[in-house]
Amino acid sequence: MPPQALPVWLLAALVAGAAAALAWRARSLTPPGAVAAWLVGTTLVGALGPAGLALLAAFFIPSNLLSRLLPPPGPPDAKGDRRDAAQVLANGGPAAAAALLELRTPGLGLWAAAAALAAASADTWATTVGVRSGRRPRHILDGTPVQPGTSGGVTWVGSAGGLLGALAVGATAAAVGAGWRAGLAATILGTAWMFGDSVLGAALQARFRCPACAEDTERPVHRCGTPAAHLGGWRWLTNDGVNLLATLGAAADGALAWWLCS
């Protein structure tokens, strides 16, 4: 790192640390989640400057507000409503890594990071809005009705919410100087990888069933504490893993879009 860049990264660390601390105090993040958010935020802001801060805010603030204003119906999730380190890194890690490309090739990191955060935003909005749909979701691969919250289940309402989530990040990218092409690419790729996330979840994510409660779950131990039986999918692939694959794919496609448009 050149000496002249050190103050920028120190300022980025301070800004990201303050934001992570506020999110922790607001009970939006667990303590490990706050540390992970600090690392992600420092990298994004250090590599992209104010644009990175704007993109991070466009993802985190609306997504968090939606989660608070529209809590999912039914029993709470076993992990709670606070994002842990795995969730933060799955949603923001690829964007932070992609942002580092900006240090070598101006424009490339911004496009890739915007696409990754648009995908994370789209998935979060789709999940939060979709569970409140008046219609049962349908399996994205075979179209059969599934229970709300099932991996691979989609609704029109949730899909529309996901599009808005991707647009929030895409419009921000365009507004902070990336240009309308970058904003459009982030919106399209974020929406596409929202559906890609659903396909990966439906086809590959581990599925379990609690023998005590007779409920399907995504975790090997149900929220009641009973070990769940493995029904299908890759036992090791969790929802966080699926989210990570989707945001990685969006970042790679964002880099490709920059190359095609440059």
Q: How confident is the model at residue 261 (pLDDT cuts 50, 70, 90)?
A: very high
Average the pLDDT over 9-36 and give the result: 92
Distances (CA, A) of 29 to 42, 113, 142, 165, 169: 16, 22, 36, 20, 21
Regarding beta strands 215-217 and 207-210, do their DSSP bridges make them parallel or antiparallel, or are they unpaired? antiparallel
Q: What digits encode the pLDDT tens for the residues 49-83?
A: 999 999 999 999 998 888 777 665 555 454 556 88
14-23, 115-124, 201-210, 236-245 — which is least confidently predicted? 201-210
Q: Could you tell me the sign of the dihedral formed by the alpha carbons of 178, 181, 182, 183, in that order?
A: positive
31-40, 63-72, 130-139, 187-196 — which is least confidently predicted? 63-72
Q: What digits encode the pLDDT tens for the residues 146-197?
A: 877 778 889 999 999 999 999 999 999 999 989 999 999 999 999 999 999 9
CA angle 205, 151, 170 (to 5 degrees): 100
128-132, 202-206, 250-254 — which is least confidently predicted? 128-132
Most confident of 106-110, 146-150, 223-227: 106-110
DSSP for the chain reads --GGGHHHHHHHHHHHHHHHHHHHHTTSB-HHHHHHHHHHHHHHHHHHTHHHHHHHHHHHHHHHHHHHHSPPSSSPPTT-SSB-HHHHHHHHHHHHHHHGGGGTSTTHHHHHHHHHHHHHHHHHHHHHHHTT-SS--EETTT--B--TT-TTEE-HHHHHHHHHHHHHHHHHHIIIII-HHHHHHHHHHHHHHHHHHHHHHHHTB-EEEETTTTEEESSSB-TTSPBPEEEESBTT--HHHHHHHHHHHHHHHHHHHHHHH-
Q: Could you tell me what percent of the chain has a pLDDT over 90? A: 61
Q: How confident is the model at residue 119 (pLDDT cuts 50, 70, 90)?
A: very high
12-16, 86-90, 128-132 — which is least confidently predicted? 128-132
Other CB atoms within 10 A of residue 205 CB: 21
Domain borders along the chain are 3-199+240-261
pLDDT of 106 strictly over 90: yes
Q: How far apart are the first and last CA of the chain?
A: 27
- pLDDT of amino acid 208: 82
Q: What is the pTM of this model?
A: 0.90
Other CB atoms within 10 A of residue 171 CB: 17
Whose CA is closest to 33, among 95, 68, 80, 83? 83
The burial of 160, by beta-carbon neighbours within 10 Å (0-12 exposed, 13-18 middle, 19 or more buried), is given as: middle
Q: Could you tell me what percent of the chain has a pLDDT over 70? A: 93
The answer to whether 226 and 210 are in contact (CB under 8 A) is yes
Question: What is the spatial distance between Cα 23 and Cα 17, in angstroms, rounded to a whole number?
Answer: 10
The answer to whether 82 and 27 are in contact (CB under 8 A) is yes
